[in-house]
Amino acid sequence: MAERRGIVHIGMPRTGTTTFQRLLHDQRAGLERRGLLYPDLTPPGDARIHLNHQPLGEVLDGRRGVADRAAMLARLEADLAATSAEIVILSYEGFCHAAGAAAVLADLLRRHGFRPETAVTVKPQAEYLNSRYTKQMQFLQETRDFRGFFRRAFRDRKLDYARLVLPFADTLGGPLHLVPLRDHRSQAPLIERLLAELDLADRIGDLVLKAGGDLVENPSAGPLAIEAERRLAILGAGHGLGEGAREATRLLEDEVARRGLDRGSFAGVDAEMQAIVADHWRASCEALARRAWGCAWEDRVAPAAPRPVNEIARLGADRETEALLAELVAWTSDQVGFAPRGPLRRRIDAVEAAAGAGLRRMLRRARARRG
């Protein structure tokens, strides 16, 4: 009998990770019939849909209490003991940030006859920063323009791929599978290449790729939505809405998409920034590439096609765009019941007044449509 495999997939974020998790989640029953277990570790009473294994990550990094940790690990242990599957996949980007997580997972997998393996998807750090900025906007956690964010963020240790991945893979043991978002060697879609790297194409490729091999989950928002979100954050909506912040930005992004106002995703990185980031993390990328592939990072990792910066906070906005932004901020605030008080309310009134009568008519029409 072939050795059973325990694949721990750790991202990195915004590298097709959510798409992979969505496909595994949605095809869970079919995958198990093919001998692959993607366990459902949703905590009891949690009504949210967990595409990944974040609840497991939260007990491993200490965000959940001792009782939750014991219950979660017991549940995973029971799933591993009961399954006849030859392969199990655990997937969460945050596993590599949790001290001791690799040792715990390695022990669990080995005790139930699974050989641990590490799977990682990566992209150039400059692209990661662009994605990270848009993600923080989606949770209304960022008020700076991209350049202000970049000045500090490009040195963040979360961009040190070798530091994150290699100790985790060494502790987990077994093979290290590294798949770039774009590969000089192949034009095939990421999910197809990831399945091939993990030697899963023959087992589940038809099932997964038929379900959505070209699916794109969690795409970055466009420049208009991002600027509207930044302005909401400046007005204090992130703090005021708390956990409801993402629902607010989801409504905003859906409205922008419905009206066809953004025709591409946000681009904040310019050529100078790309060079700064590449130089700063060159040694880290080389160490990871040599370990996983035995070649240089540049030999495998293909950069994205150049895109001009489209950030409104940097380029400025004409009168029409300013009016549209003010309308979107007001519309979103009304939808979620966010009402700034005091100086913040006066700031909104001042913006609306400066935009003139045309904006006021637009706002009245928008409010009338909502009833």
- The per-residue pLDDT for range 304-322, each reduced to its tens digit, is 999 999 999 999 999 999 9
Supply the pLDDT for residue 26: 94
> 348 and 235 in contact (C-beta within 8 Å)?
yes
Which neighbouring-strand residues pair with 118? Answer: 8, 176
CA 262 to chain centre: 20
Q: What are the structure tokens assigned to 343, written together? A: 């100086």
pTM: 0.85
> How far is it, in rounded angstroms, from Cα 179 to Cα 176?
10
What is the end-to-end Cα distance of the chain in Å, rounded? 66
Report strand pairing: 114-122 vs 176-180: parallel
Supply the pLDDT for residue 133: 97
Report the side by side order of strands in the sheet with 36-37.
36-37, 87-91, 4-9, 114-122, 176-180
Which neighbouring-strand residues pair with 178? Answer: 120
For domain 4-133+146-212, give the CATH number. Answer: 3.40.50
Report strand pairing: 87-91 vs 36-37: parallel
> How far is it, in rounded angstroms, from Cα 19 to Cα 16?
5
> How far is it, in rounded angstroms, from Cα 45 to Cα 69?
16
Residue 37 phi, psi (nearest 5)? -100, 125
Supply the pLDDT for residue 160: 97
- Cα angle 128, 131, 137; round to 5: 140
Q: Which residues contact residue 85 at a Cβ distance below 8 angstroms, ignoring those fewer than 6 apart? A: 4, 32, 35, 36, 37
> 366 and 330 in contact (C-beta within 8 Å)?
yes
Supply the pLDDT for residue 345: 54
Supply the pLDDT for residue 333: 96
Supply the pLDDT for residue 218: 62
Supply the pLDDT for residue 348: 55
Tell me how far apart the 2 most distant CA atoms of the chain are, in Å: 76
> How far is it, in rounded angstroms, from Cα 310 to Cα 211?
33
Question: What's the Cα-to-Cα distance from 323 to each of 166, 228, 317, 353, rounded to whole Å?
Answer: 49, 11, 9, 10
Q: Which residues contact residue 334 at a Cβ distance below 8 angstroms, ignoring those fewer than 6 apart? A: 367, 370
Regions of the chain short of the pLDDT cut 70? 1, 211-218, 341-371
> How far is it, in rounded angstroms, from Cα 262 to Cα 189?
25
CA 186 to chain centre: 24
Tokens 């080995």 belong to 110
Domain boundaries, the chain: 4-133+146-212, 223-264+317-364
Q: Which residues contact residue 271 at a Cβ distance below 8 angstroms, ignoring those fewer than 6 apart? A: 306
pLDDT in tens, 113-165: 999 999 999 999 999 999 999 999 999 999 999 999 999 999 999 999 999 99
CA 247 to chain centre: 16
